[in-house]
Structure 1
Amino acid sequence: MSRTDIFTLEIIQNSLQAIADEMFAAMRKTAMSPIIYEVLDMGTGITDAQGQMASSGSGIPAFVGVLDKAVRCVLAQHSQPGDIEPGDIFITNDPHNGGVTHLNDVVLTMPVFAGDRLVAWTANIAHWNDVGGMVPGSLSTDATDIFQEGLRLTGVKLISGGKPVRPVMQILRANTRMPDFMEGDLWAGIAAVRGGAGRIVELTRKYGVDAFVAAIGDFMDHGERVSHHALADAPRGRFTMEELQDDGQTFRVTVELTGKEMIVDLCDNPAQASGPTNLSRDGTIVAAQMAFKAVTAPQAATNGGTFRPLKVLTKPGTLFDARMPAAEGFYFENLIRVYDLILRCLAAHMPERLPAGNFASVCATIIGGVHPDTGRVFTLVEPEIGGWGGEAGRDGNSAMYSGLHGETYNCPAEICEARYGLYVDGMALNDEPGGHGQYRGGRGIRIDYRVRADDTFLTCGYTRSQVPPWGLAGGRDGTPNYIEVLRKDGRSERHAMVSGLMLQQGDVIRVRTGAGGGYGDPASRSPEAVRDDVRNGYLSAAQAREIYGVTV
């Protein structure tokens, strides 16, 4: 096939996207855990033979960014002849060895052969409810090394020549408190990578292997051209930002835009933590890739070529390039901190592309115990939705997931009440005032979970609990993220990072997520917009007079 045959190239490229989406649908429809089939805490993708991202399905952007790195790790660990054969499937979850995130996020990847030639990999990632470790749910704020966080899988062969490797399956089952959920989610992932591999083989037969490989290469070159075009229109210079964090540490970033590349320097940051908030270098690269995409061509397709103009600098042994045996259970909060820090660094220089700060936390809420109706162990794993920042010309969105989570959903109240030992007493927009501006920040939410059984536990990981989302161009800061525990005896507690907090029947877990920052001077907001805010419950009549000078 001639490389000038753009029609065939386009057909193959779009077919790869359809295959990745089909893998996503297959996994969603067959998984056992609501965190996968309802929340969509998962991602699917296809790489070329060398592990460069060729196409991705829907799901979490930060998860999709993991898959190519996991495949390259498998390739490095299985480099001898016969190590990788048709029908094989590999499993990995270790952030220190290609898993990138934390041990709960499990990657399955399958080599795709056309005859004897390796032409691609299919891959997926999903959050598993429990992979062992010191606490149910495997996430503990008290963990000091990764060995306390659960079972580590470093590119292990799970399926060999189409047949399960029985000892590996036995190890997986023996190292989870929820083996039935583990097996259901595992086989959903296996079905997805196998289905995708079969579709790719059909594609190579229809158009030929050379055409297939050429199409992937052409698509990646196109991704690079799109990024270069966007960088050419971006402001040029060297920009620096430092930001105080909830725990009193200061994070720093320098971003250099040259017109041809974007260099993100995160070397000058604190040493890796003794606790579980560390981030692997690959995780930091994922955060930088998300920020790069946001400031270049967010609507365009993403592949390995997209990020060729991005360079990320880190220092080994720091919080954003942690070394073994660093714990990484709550990695996601610092991944989103890196992402948000880069955007804040650039926002003042690119106001037409970037909004004010959003609630910028996964707000991971984990509630577990024994279901009072069925007697089965349950673990609710719920990332929460919050407010996005205002931007030039429009208010911020309310009740949206963070940039890390992308195309995911909150778990319906009906599912929570049926599958977990909880009642959902209420869900509404958070009424705490904040995020005022010419264009206001979107609102966060308030959810009340009422505990139905004694000895239920709560684990949570929230940041921006002390330092709220930042305003832009004179806009006011937003509001913080936190949890209130309302004890049935009338006591109240506030938490942001806690694990294994014991709860009893009748206690209420009240989640509050933040409003995004405002954009522009509040005095410039139109009186009619202020009156609409009062009618919609975003602020009171007294606040309208005090902040905006508008009488309602």
Structure 2
Amino acid sequence: MFDRTNLQVLANHARAAAENMAHTLHRTAHSAFVKETQDFTVMLMDRSGATFAVPMELGATWYPGLSYHRAIAMVNDYRPGDVAFTNDPYSGHVATHAPDTHLWKPVFVDGEIVAWTGGHIHNTDMGGAVPASLSRALTEIHQEGIRFPPMKLVREGVFDETILRIMSTNVRKPDLNIGDIKALVGALNTGERKIQAMVKKFGKAGFVEGVSALLDHAEAQARAVLRAMPDGTWQFADYADEDSVEANPCRLKLTLTIKGDEAVLDFTGSDPQLGSSLNVPSGGDPRHTMLLVGVYYVLYTLNPKILLNAGLTRPFTCITPQGSVLNPVHPAAVGMRSLTCARLRSVIFGAFSQVLPERLPAAGWTGFSTEPCGVMQV
């Protein structure tokens, strides 16, 4: 059913739906984090929770490969009108620090879940030891604010006021938090209506088939980019800021191996988890979106027409030893993980720039010299 023309039509519908969700959230949010800095995401997901469409005009760009499947599975008995949420970095590994509250909503057609709408907003404050809940000096997750494991926030269209009351009691700016969360629920509702319109246009079976085809197409595009690269192994290391006055800079190391249309990103040799909040909670997920942000940029640089969805992650496998800065164990603090993620992107650029030096930029300057990088051609 889905030839290239029809698939592009569906992709356009899906992206337009995601853009509508983003504008709904942006226009109705309360906080500067959402309205001014656009620290939010929205997305459409397939039945398993894999992202198949994101906006390009508004919001953060880190999440096209995000999958909610683990968090979705931690909540039972979804019904029409339900919305689940979490902000716990150690439950479901969707949220990656406590201020990021992720919500997801099932989209039912004829009594069956055909897709999900989802997204996150960065709350102004989630309580904890310091205003805004973020400080490099914090040493454990318990200091970074109240956390909610995956649970229902809205039941058949009705907010759970007990949860809202608990949140309001524990945060410094409850009106901003609750306002932004309700704005995100509105965005999810917008996405739900758009998905139902797509189902009406393509049919339920056709829509489900088309979404799967979108993910497969992005995977094929990513594999085509990898096949155009030489096989081999490349290493690159760089350093993030030290996590305290007396500490050393945090070392991030990557061994990149490309073979055919697959790639392995082995972060063995990166520093152990830190005593500060610079850790990145990937949960050991071999395709965690935080680990692959730099890869998305590489792929998009080499093919600006590539579809941004979770299919891009399939050809890549990340190795992050447990207890390392990129796979910390509870109760490691993670609030400032974005600082480490910024350097992580540079490490990925540094490795891939050796693969295609004539087409890809080198890693950004950090003030530290990188280690000598051996290149082994296969």
Give the TM-score of the pair, scaled to structure 2: 0.89
Q: How does 1:47-196 map to 2 (within 5 A)?
A: 47-58=45-56, 59-66=59-66, 68=67, 71-78=68-75, 80=76, 83-97=77-91, 98-196=93-191
Name the amino acid aligned to 1:60: A
1:40 paired residue among 16, 38, 41: 38
CA distance in structure 2 between the aligned counterparts of 1:110 and 1:237, rounded to whole angstroms: 42
Match of 2:245 in 1: none
Structure number with higher helix proportion: 2
Post-superposition offset of 1:224: 1.1
CA distance in structure 2 between the aligned counterparts of 1:291 and 1:245, rounded to whole angstroms: 15
- Name which structure has the greater RCO, CA cutoff 8 Å, separation 6+: 2
1:317 paired residue among 323, 326, 337: 323
Contact residue 28 and residue 40 of structure 1 kept, 8 A: yes
Change (3 A) 1:183 1:307: same
CA distance in structure 2 between the aligned counterparts of 1:4 and 1:111, rounded to whole angstroms: 24
Post-superposition offset of 1:357: 3.1
What root-mean-square deviation, in Å, do the aligned CA atoms of Structure 1 and Structure 2 show?
2.0
Match of 1:550 in 2: none
Q: Deviations over 1:136-182 (max 9, x none)?
A: 11112221110110011221210001111111111121121111111
Change (3 A) 1:164 1:111: same
CA distance in structure 1 between the aligned counterparts of 2:127 and 2:177, rounded to whole angstroms: 11
Name the amino acid aligned to 1:112: V
Match of 2:332 in 1: 326
Change (3 A) 1:303 1:64: closer
Match of 1:263 in 2: 264
Q: The residue matched to 2:45 in structure 1 has which SS?
A: strand
Deviates more, 1:143-152 or 1:332-341: 332-341
Match of 2:341 in 1: 335
Post-superposition offset of 1:65: 4.2
Matched, 1:199 2:199: no
Q: How does 1:194-343 map to 2 (within 5 A)?
A: 194-247=189-242, 248=248, 249-281=250-282, 285-298=288-301, 299=304, 300-343=306-349
Contact residue 278 and residue 330 of structure 1 kept, 8 A: yes
Match of 2:368 in 1: 467
Q: Deviations over 1:494-514 (max 9, x none)?
A: xxxxxxxxxxxxxxxxxxxxx
Change (3 A) 1:5 1:232: closer
CA distance in structure 2 between the aligned counterparts of 1:172 and 1:205, rounded to whole angstroms: 38
CA distance in structure 1 between the aligned counterparts of 2:49 and 2:129, rounded to whole angstroms: 34
CA distance in structure 2 between the aligned counterparts of 1:4 and 1:330, rounded to whole angstroms: 43
Q: How does 1:10-49 map to 2 (within 5 A)?
A: 10-49=8-47
Post-superposition offset of 1:128: 0.9
Contact residue 95 and residue 101 of structure 2 kept, 8 A: no
Name the amino acid aligned to 1:290: V
CA distance in structure 2 between the aligned counterparts of 1:290 and 1:75, rounded to whole angstroms: 22
Contact residue 131 and residue 176 of structure 1 kept, 8 A: yes
Post-superposition offset of 1:92: 1.1
Post-superposition offset of 1:63: 4.0
Name the amino acid aligned to 2:19: D
Residue ranges of structure 1 left out of the alignment (5+ in a row): 360-463, 471-552
Post-superposition offset of 1:100: 3.6
Match of 1:446 in 2: none
Change (3 A) 1:148 1:115: same
Residue ranges of structure 2 left out of the alignment (5+ in a row): 243-247, 372-378
CA distance in structure 1 between the aligned counterparts of 2:141 and 2:348, rounded to whole angstroms: 27
Structure number with greater Rg is: 1
Contact residue 255 and residue 345 of structure 1 kept, 8 A: yes
Give the TM-score of the pair, scaled to structure 1: 0.62
Q: The residue matched to 1:187 in structure 2 has which SS?
A: helix
Percent identical pairs in the alignment equals: 28
CA distance in structure 1 between the aligned counterparts of 2:21 and 2:240, rounded to whole angstroms: 39
Name the amino acid aligned to 1:223: A
Contact residue 274 and residue 327 of structure 1 kept, 8 A: yes
Q: How does 1:349-364 map to 2 (within 5 A)?
A: 349-358=355-364
Q: The residue matched to 1:57 in structure 2 has which SS?
A: coil
Contact residue 278 and residue 339 of structure 2 kept, 8 A: yes
CA distance in structure 2 between the aligned counterparts of 1:213 and 1:233, rounded to whole angstroms: 31
CA distance in structure 1 between the aligned counterparts of 2:50 and 2:258, rounded to whole angstroms: 24
Contact residue 238 and residue 370 of structure 2 kept, 8 A: no
Post-superposition offset of 1:201: 1.3
CA distance in structure 2 between the aligned counterparts of 1:468 and 1:28, rounded to whole angstroms: 41
Name the amino acid aligned to 1:72: H
CA distance in structure 2 between the aligned counterparts of 1:179 and 1:29, rounded to whole angstroms: 19
Name the amino acid aligned to 2:69: R
